[in-house]
Structures are given as C-alpha cells and as structure tokens.
Amino acid sequence: MKKLSIIIPVFNEEKTIVEVLNKVSKIKIPNTSKEIIVVDDGSTDATASKIRSAKLADKIRNLKIFRHTQNLGKGAAVKTGIRNSTGDYVVIQDADLEYDPLYIPILLRPIQQHKSEVVYGTRLKRMPDLSKDEKNPRFLLHYIGNRLLSLITSILYGQWITDMETCYKVFPKKAVENIILKSRRFDFEPEITAKLLKKGYRIDEIPITSNPRDYNEGKKLNTIKDGAIALFTILKCRFID
C-alpha cells in the first residue's frame, strides 16, 4: 500500500466536522501517504461554512472537498468519494466521531503485513452491554438487528461476519472498480459487503469500540426501516444482482 484514501461522507455535522478532519489529518501511517476526501451530501446546516471558516483546505495536505447540491444519502456520498479517490486502498470514516480515527492505522496493519486485503472494524464481537450502550432499548434493538443481519450475511455468503453494518471498512480500490454499487443510502453497507464476498474477498475483522450518539444528538439510522432495506439488499445481491 502506497497511498490510502480516507473518505468522509458528511451530512449536517457542523458540530464535529472540523474536529474529525483535524484528527484524521494527524494520523501517521508508516510508509503510506494519505488523501482525505470529504463529500458534503447537501448539508443544510453550517457544515460547509465551518470547513471554509477553518480554512482546512489550506491547512490539511491532500484534502479534497466535494459537495452534492442536494442530500442523496450516505451511499451516494461514499461513491462520489471512491470515484474521486487516487489511493491503492480506501477506508470510510464517519464524520460524527462515533468512530475514533486512531483505529485506522490498527485496521491497516493486517494489510501492510500482507495478511489481509479487506478489513472491517467490528463493534459487535461481544455480548450486549446492558450497563452501558445497550441499556438504551433503541440501541439494544440496533445491536440485535445488526447481529441478525450479520448472521444472515454469514449464512448466505459462507463467511463468518459479526458486524456487517460497521462504518470502518478498508478495501483495495481495485476491488470495487468493476462493481456497480447501486445503493444511495445506508444500504451501501450490506451491498458492498455482499459484492466483495461474491468477488471472493475474505473479510477479516478487528475489534473496535465506538461512542454512539443518541437520536436526540443527531443519529440518523432508523433501525426498523433501514434494517428492512438492509435485509432486502443482502437477499437481492445474493440471488438476483
């Protein structure tokens, strides 16, 4: 790996966008250069002005900023990032800081050691924590739904995965160059997982921790609606697409 593309899809993250970009810019990856690609997915808050006022494009080396004129969804933003990336490998970093960018070098180690080509950061290689995250009924439902979707993926595609819905996915750009990614919203996660597995890539997982936001803090995932779409996507990619 000579170059890593870090793709940051953003929608209405005025509170965290500057911090996440500063954190990502400070990451040191041995023997690897990096580019940071921000895709503002039609934010209606002060996200764009925060980036401009902080003059991040002047301060951060190899920072590329793209903007959708309207909100198209996370999947569409990630696809814009991939299309404009020039790295050998791609990693996705959410802008809300639920995931600590310090994990990125850890996820890259198996790739740099030639042990893996695709690495996911799994939050769910554990039992539910009823004293912390999963004491919130909505988070418990999210945990159960995610484990169920990951189990179904494992059965249908013949490889054990514990956290298919994780944001942290590291993969070679060449792996998706000939893949048509159709999803535009949160169904991007099951679609890219399914299509990587269908191409014969093995997905290795490294345990990570996250700091999930509550829904009143701006969390956007709808467990029931998006879970149903994810299930449909898993089945469609396996038997139709």
The domain total for the chain is 1
Name the residue range of residue 233's domain. Answer: 3-239
Q: What is the pLDDT of residue 164?
A: 93
Beta sheet of 63-68, edge-to-edge order? 63-68, 33-41, 3-10, 89-92, 169-172, 118-122, 203-207
Q: How far apart are CA 78 and CA 234, in angstroms?
A: 19
Predicted local confidence at residue 1, as pLDDT? 76
pLDDT score at 215: 55
Q: Where are the alpha helices (DSSP H) in 120-161?
A: 137-157
pLDDT of the chain, 241 residues: tens digit per residue: 799 999 999 999 999 999 999 999 999 998 999 999 999 999 999 999 998 887 777 888 899 999 999 999 999 999 999 999 999 999 999 999 999 999 999 999 999 999 999 999 999 887 777 777 777 777 788 889 899 999 999 999 999 999 999 999 999 999 998 888 888 887 999 999 999 999 999 999 999 998 876 656 555 667 788 889 999 999 999 998 7
Write the CATH number for 178. Answer: 3.90.550.10
Best CA proximity match to 8, nearest among 70, 77, 83, 69: 77
121, 206 Cβ separation under 8 angstroms: yes
pLDDT at 87: 97
Q: 90: which strand partners?
A: 5, 171
Q: What share of the chain is helix, strand, coil (3-state, %, to 5)?
A: 40, 15, 40
Q: Identify the pLDDT of residue 61.
A: 84
